[in-house]
Chains A and B, each alone.
Chain A
């Protein structure tokens, strides 16, 4: 069974680029334009991993993380947070508090993101696909 990954970003190009990269690597991908829609879907069907932007309408990345950690079925799934913020965002604090697996600062490399996804899911290239 392919791993299901939810990608959540209000920028359609970022969502498209990540989903292309992950699909080619053999992952099943579902995309959402804001945190709220992603959370709604996660309640119905828990993914294996979530990649989310920080600043989004309706529900931002941190709020989404909080909700995900509250929900029994999604409590332990890996989360990668994408952010355009730099020094003003305390990565460590949120990583500890919300158990965010990775933080990637924009502009990021899709290749590195893919590696992180694989590491988070404890996969090697041999296993995927």
Chain B
């Protein structure tokens, strides 16, 4: 029962008791003295009941104030103290809401901090796995962060002066030259000094780490917030050794191509000048015209082979893969190379498999690849020795072997022989070349035909290139799939 019910119940009880009293007095059943005693007893009993009920409510409120969590459902009801307690309860509820909000904020903050820590660890791990060095400096040039690669550009405690050998202090020092190598310190100082002129600066330098000297490029960029306030500077250091190597290789390639082009051009020029000057007899002149023709053919071949590589690699040439028998392609390639081998007194043998080797290939491209391998074998094999071409079936592949008994390839050159422009330094002088032949072979075998190529070699003993091409005709299979069943 709520507080108003109790109140009205008491009033009604007292009214009823006084009415009953009056009736009893009026009908002279009881004397007025007795009626007064009855009325007083009823009033006192009602009052005592009401007081006890209010005390209970008070206790509940107190309990609720002490521990709001426990008695929340019961306290929702109103009591005798009406709006005063309702307001207290409301206030208490409000403070309770604040309390729970604080807890929620704490929980949210914890979650946020955890997620940020995870992200930080992820970013750090990403930065640590980069091949590029990252150094971040604060607004006061203090080193804030370095990734794994960039650690090698830091000056370690042992490198520093003995008086400043405390490494824990050195990282936070504004004196950048004590924390990073001079090249980076100089770049950083200039970038900050000239920040009005340009946002970032770059420098290239040579640096030796663990006994290996490499070429590096560092780019320093000033960082600023939305209001253009300086946040610091980030320095990105890249190893440009490979880039430099590529440039060198490219320069060597151009030089090599120039040499290859100039040689036939020299012959042509010399012959033509002699013909113009009338230096030769008519029969000699005829011979010279023949030579000029040969030289022009040689130039054409050279230019074509360079264009071929460029076109095949760039995908300009249409790949025409059809069903073929591998040995047919190998025989054609062998016929092309055979005269050159004979000229060099090299024993050239083709041991082709007796089995039918079905392949789905671009006949011309694969043929060119085999000719390149055979031509190399003949070129780098001394006169009088041997070159062998073999084919066989192995599981689901057709295997082609080109084995020579030439000068071989040193072990340190083996990983590079399929690189464009690469020429084995030791064998470079023994024959002319552009360093494109094997690059083209590799591209044709692996990219065009999904095959593989490997090489085994021993210096002064010889080299063996092994090419594998997936076995099987595809056009016939497709035709069979497309054709309606015979008995349909």
How many angstroms from the CA of A17 to the CA of B258 in the assembled complex? Answer: 20
B269 touches A11 (CB 8 A): no
- At the interface with chain A, which of B90-98, B216-224, B260-268, B440-448? B260-268
On whether A85 and B255 interact (CB within 8 A), knowing A13-B264, A20-B280, the answer reads yes
Q: A13-B295, A17-B270 are in contact. Are A84 and B259 (CB under 8 A)?
A: yes
**Does B430 lie within 8 Å of A14, measured CB to CB?**
no
Any A CB within 8 A of the CB of B411: no
Contact status of A108 and B431, CB under 8 A, knowing A20-B274, A21-B274: no
Residues of B within 8 A of A107 (CB): 262, 265-266, 268-270
A5 nearest CB across to chain B (Å): 16
Asked whether, in the complex, the Cβ of B267 is within 8 Å of the Cβ of A11, the reply is yes
CA distance in complex: A111, B270 (Å) = 9
B interface secondary structure, majority: helix
- How far does the Cβ of A65 sit from chain B's closest Cβ, in whole Å? 15
Interface size on B, residues (CB 8 A): 27
B264 touches A110 (CB 8 A): no
Which stretch in A50-58, A73-81, A91-99 binds the other chain? A50-58
B429 at the interface (CB under 8 A from A): yes
Could you tell me the distance in whole angstroms from the C-beta of A49 to the nearest C-beta in chain B? Answer: 18
Q: Is the CB of A88 within 8 A of B251?
A: yes
Closest to B267 in A: A13
A17 touches B274 (CB 8 A): yes
Q: How far is the CB of A90 from chain B (nearest CB, A)?
A: 13
Q: Does A28 contact B (CB under 8 A)?
A: no
CA A59 – CA B429 in complex, angstroms? 8
Interface SS of A by simple majority: loop
User: How far apart sit A66 and B23, CA to CA, in the bound complex (Å)?
Assistant: 153
Count of interface residues, chain A, beta-carbon cutoff 8 Å: 27
Q: How far is the CB of B129 from chain A (nearest CB, A)?
A: 39
Q: Is A118 an interface residue (CB 8 A)?
A: no
Q: How far is the CB of A114 from chain B (nearest CB, A)?
A: 10
Q: Does B465 contact A (CB under 8 A)?
A: no
Q: What 1/0 mask marks residues of chain A from 1 to 43 whose CB sits below 8 Å from any chain B CB?
A: 0000000001101101110110010000000000000000000
Residue from A58, A85, A106, A111 whose CB has the most chain B CB atoms within 10 Å: A106
Q: 1/0 contact trace for B240-266 toward A, CB 8 Å?
A: 000000000001000100110011111
Q: Is A45 an interface residue (CB 8 A)?
A: no
B267 pairs with A14, CB closer than 8 A? yes
Q: Provide the residues of chain A in CB contact with B277, threshold 8 Å.
A: 111
Are B258 and A108 touching (Cβ within 8 A)? no
Residues of B within 8 A of A58 (CB): 429-430
Given the known interface contacts A10-B432, A56-B429, the answer about A106 and B263 at a Cβ–Cβ threshold of 8 Å is yes
- B273 CB–A CB distance under 8 Å: yes
Q: Kindly list chain B residues whose C-beta atoms are within 8 Å of the C-beta of A21.
A: 270, 274, 279
> 10 tightest A-B contacts by CB?
A13-B267, A17-B270, A84-B262, A107-B269, A84-B259, A107-B266, A106-B266, A106-B262, A107-B265, A57-B430
Interface residues of B (CB under 8 A from A): 251, 255, 258-259, 262-271, 273-274, 277, 279-280, 284, 291, 294-295, 429-432
Interface residues of A (CB under 8 A from B): 10-11, 13-14, 16-18, 20-21, 24, 55-60, 82, 84-86, 88, 106-111
Please give 16 more A-B residue pairs, beta carbons under 8 A apart, in addition to A106-B262, A110-B270.
A20-B280, A24-B279, A57-B429, A59-B429, A84-B259, A85-B255, A85-B258, A85-B259, A86-B258, A88-B255, A107-B265, A107-B266, A108-B266, A108-B269, A109-B269, A110-B273
**Selected A-B contacts with CB under 8 Å, 17 pairs:** A14-B266, A14-B267, A14-B270, A20-B284, A21-B270, A24-B279, A56-B429, A60-B429, A84-B263, A85-B258, A107-B268, A107-B269, A108-B270, A109-B270, A109-B273, A110-B273, A111-B273
